[in-house]
Structure 1
Amino acid sequence: MRKWWPLVAVCLGTFMFLLDTTVLSVALPEIGEGLSAPLPALQWVANVYTLVLAVLMLMMGALADRFGARTVYVAGLMVFGVASLACGSAPNAGALVAARAAQGVGGAAMAVTTFALIGSCYRGPDMGRAMGVFGAVSGLAAAVGPMLGGALTQYLGWRSVFFLNLPLVAVTVALTLRVLAPGRQGTGTRIDLPGMVVFALCAGSLTYALTSAGEVGWASPAVLGPLALAALALAVFARVELRSPAPLLDVALFGRAAFSAVMMCVVASTAAFAALVYTSVWLQSGLGLGPARAGLALMPLALASFATSLISGRRLHGRSPRAVLATGLLLSGIGCALQAGLDAGASAVSLAPGLALTGVGVGLLGPAMGAAVFAALPPERGGMAAGAMTTFRQLGQTLGVAVLGVLFQQGGGAMTEGLDRVLIAAAAAGIIGSVLAYVFVPRPAAANAPAPARRDLTDSR
């Protein structure tokens, strides 16, 4: 039993990190009421966390290489805990957004080190068992997030969603220091600080413009200015990365059609989760459900995703990632389409079949996404592929919430009509992503997929 304590320490941190990406969706309406925050402010409460994750993932990988995975993991846990306390104590929406950004810093450090820590402790069959447990915990976090968030919000208040992290952080830090060895530290890893700053400026400006567009319109200087800044920053980022000896992201890789298509598939895979923010708003503000009942209404997606990921991880191992990825995206898109078509008589039950089908699609995507990314590049670029995948997943979630927010508010119509537009857009993203996957994702050699996957988020080069 003693040999599995390191896995427990890693899984506890992973559970917290992933829980905070899903648990908040049900709590947002109560946060808006409690802090008198409008919808754009609530979008930032959700967006800033994933935005910071997207910006810092690659840099945190470099820090883990330099200072050791355990050091970065523990530091991330401590930052995450302090930020959670600040979130739960926030007096207004601005303070909450700032604290959520700090949470993202800690979350990025926690996320990039998990695979390295598991890889340092387990080999052979034990590695397979450890990764199976790790995958199950990841699915469990997604499954219980909406329900746990709803129950905590309704019975203890939305602040308890953040305060819950405090004892978990304390236990995880103590356990990590006791059961995980410090590991080796490197000295030669360089951090591409200019690239990180310009990428942050691009992603932040674009997110701000899209978030503002639903409220002030596309022609407003508050939208056009940040859009222009984002375009300029993107051009500068490409130039900086092409000249950097140790780039965050080798932009020349986007000259490969397969790699570009897979990155688009990664972004498309986040649309269904981004739509949940507005589904939750409709369930609570439109139908008048409490947070707990709203969380329960979203459970078909989470449970279907959890069950499918457990089954597909074993039965689809070694299958072509092209077929699995295309099928997962297609089912996710069709599931979103089935949720659309809401009318004045719609209820939470109306969403259940579509949510369940979307969950099956999402469950298929997890095991296939990494294999598809690694199939698009040579094995020696595995670290770069993993970092790009993680960054685009978080950035896709952030931009998805912003873009779908514009559709949700468009025309000032009824809330049901706004949710319909959101679900149709999410369905289109899934279906288009499915076509891209089927056409462009190559069939990898079976031996190429597993090895880079174990490096996953730990190599930023």
Structure 2
Amino acid sequence: LYLQNVRGLDALHAGLWMLPMAAPCFLCAPLSGRLVGSRGPRLPLLVAGAAMTASGVLFAAFEAETSNATLFAGYMLFGIGFGFVNAPITNTAVSGMPRAQAGVAAAVASTSRQLGQTLGVAIVGAVLAAGVGSSSYKDMFVSAARPGWWILTACGSAVLVLGLVSSGRWARRTAERTAETLASAEVRQVVGAPERA
């Protein structure tokens, strides 16, 4: 919306401006998966949270849209954060589950992620529309978008905090205890099934 309706770019040039966001997503997603496999989810979650928070602050507080360099930096940071976030979230969702329930946990994580994206677009779009109101779209867009960027900053901060809390020693011990409890309950359920039949 901003690139075409405010900056006046055509669809091709607006798409080219989105490459600084798309390319890091493409490059960072497999790197995130490798880091999760070799070092666990903590580092990718922290990188994702920090990059998304920095991107939101850059746009909300410093009006990154007003210069090409800051716009490019904001898009790059968001792309890095978004590229790093998916693999550790899925890993964290399934790591405490017994193998028999890992698929369900991954499905719940995926559905939650899609629901969050849908709600995010709707909420930020509503906030933006309320800020523009009946004023000139071109003149009001950057200031009307500021609350939406603060929402993104809060979401990035939540990823950062949850990454710290959910991937430390305490969280790993809790996940292991939960997995043991669920596995033993599953064994009791399977063992007790013939007796009821």
The CA distance in 2 between the partners of 1:328 and 1:300, in whole Å, is: 16
**Of 147, 150, 153, which aligns to 1:424?**
150
Query: Which residue of the partner structure matches residue 164 of structure 2?
Result: 438
Shift of 1:312: 3.5
Counterparts of 1:287-436 in structure 2 under 5 Å?
287-340=7-60, 341-342=62-63, 346-411=66-131, 412=133, 414-436=140-162
The CA distance in 2 between the partners of 1:381 and 1:392, in whole Å, is: 17
Question: Is 1:284–2:4 an aligned residue pair?
Answer: yes
- Please provide the CA RMSD for this pair: 2.4
- Identity in percent: 30
The CA distance in 1 between the partners of 2:96 and 2:141, in whole Å, is: 41
Given that residues 58 and 70 in structure 2 are in contact (C-alpha distance below 8 angstroms), is that contact kept between their aligned partners in structure 1? no
The CA distance in 1 between the partners of 2:122 and 2:93, in whole Å, is: 25
Given that residues 321 and 372 in structure 1 are in contact (C-alpha distance below 8 angstroms), is that contact kept between their aligned partners in structure 2? yes
Query: Which residue of the partner structure matches residue 276 of structure 1?
Result: none
| Residue 310 to residue 440, structure 1, CA distance change in 2 (3 Å) | closer
The CA distance in 2 between the partners of 1:315 and 1:429, in whole Å, is: 22
The CA distance in 1 between the partners of 2:36 and 2:106, in whole Å, is: 20
Given that residues 283 and 348 in structure 1 are in contact (C-alpha distance below 8 angstroms), is that contact kept between their aligned partners in structure 2? no
Quick one: higher RCO (CA 8 Å, sep 6+), 1 or 2? 2
The CA distance in 2 between the partners of 1:389 and 1:315, in whole Å, is: 19
Counterparts of 1:27-66 in structure 2 under 5 Å?
none
Given that residues 41 and 91 in structure 2 are in contact (C-alpha distance below 8 angstroms), is that contact kept between their aligned partners in structure 1? yes
Shift of 1:377: 3.0
The CA distance in 2 between the partners of 1:315 and 1:433, in whole Å, is: 17
Give the TM-score taking structure 2 as reference length: 0.73
The CA distance in 2 between the partners of 1:297 and 1:364, in whole Å, is: 21
- 1:330-357 CA deviation, whole Å, 9 max, x = no partner? 22221222233328x8145431111111
| Residue 371 to residue 316, structure 1, CA distance change in 2 (3 Å) | closer
Equivalent position amino acid for 1:410 in 2: A
Counterparts of 1:171-186 in structure 2 under 5 Å?
none
Query: Which residue of the partner structure matches residue 94 of structure 1?
Result: none
- 1:96-119 CA deviation, whole Å, 9 max, x = no partner? xxxxxxxxxxxxxxxxxxxxxxxx
- Counterpart of 1:298 in 2: which secondary structure? helix
Counterparts of 1:194-273 in structure 2 under 5 Å?
none
The CA distance in 2 between the partners of 1:425 and 1:286, in whole Å, is: 21
Given that residues 334 and 431 in structure 1 are in contact (C-alpha distance below 8 angstroms), is that contact kept between their aligned partners in structure 2? no
Given that residues 36 and 91 in structure 2 are in contact (C-alpha distance below 8 angstroms), is that contact kept between their aligned partners in structure 1? no
| Residue 376 to residue 351, structure 1, CA distance change in 2 (3 Å) | farther
Given that residues 6 and 141 in structure 2 are in contact (C-alpha distance below 8 angstroms), is that contact kept between their aligned partners in structure 1? yes
Equivalent position amino acid for 1:415 in 2: F
- 1:23-51 CA deviation, whole Å, 9 max, x = no partner? xxxxxxxxxxxxxxxxxxxxxxxxxxxxx
Query: Which residue of the partner structure matches residue 244 of structure 1?
Result: none
The CA distance in 2 between the partners of 1:402 and 1:336, in whole Å, is: 17
Q: Could you say which structure has the higher helix fraction?
A: 2
Shift of 1:394: 1.2
- Unaligned stretches of 5+ residues in structure 2: 180-197
Give the TM-score taking structure 1 as reference length: 0.33
Given that residues 21 and 80 in structure 2 are in contact (C-alpha distance below 8 angstroms), is that contact kept between their aligned partners in structure 1? yes
Query: Which residue of the partner structure matches residue 40 of structure 1?
Result: none
Shift of 1:379: 3.1
Equivalent position amino acid for 2:156 in 1: G
Shift of 1:291: 0.9
- 1:370-412 CA deviation, whole Å, 9 max, x = no partner? 1111124333321210110111111111111111012112242
| Residue 375 to residue 316, structure 1, CA distance change in 2 (3 Å) | closer
The CA distance in 2 between the partners of 1:314 and 1:320, in whole Å, is: 9
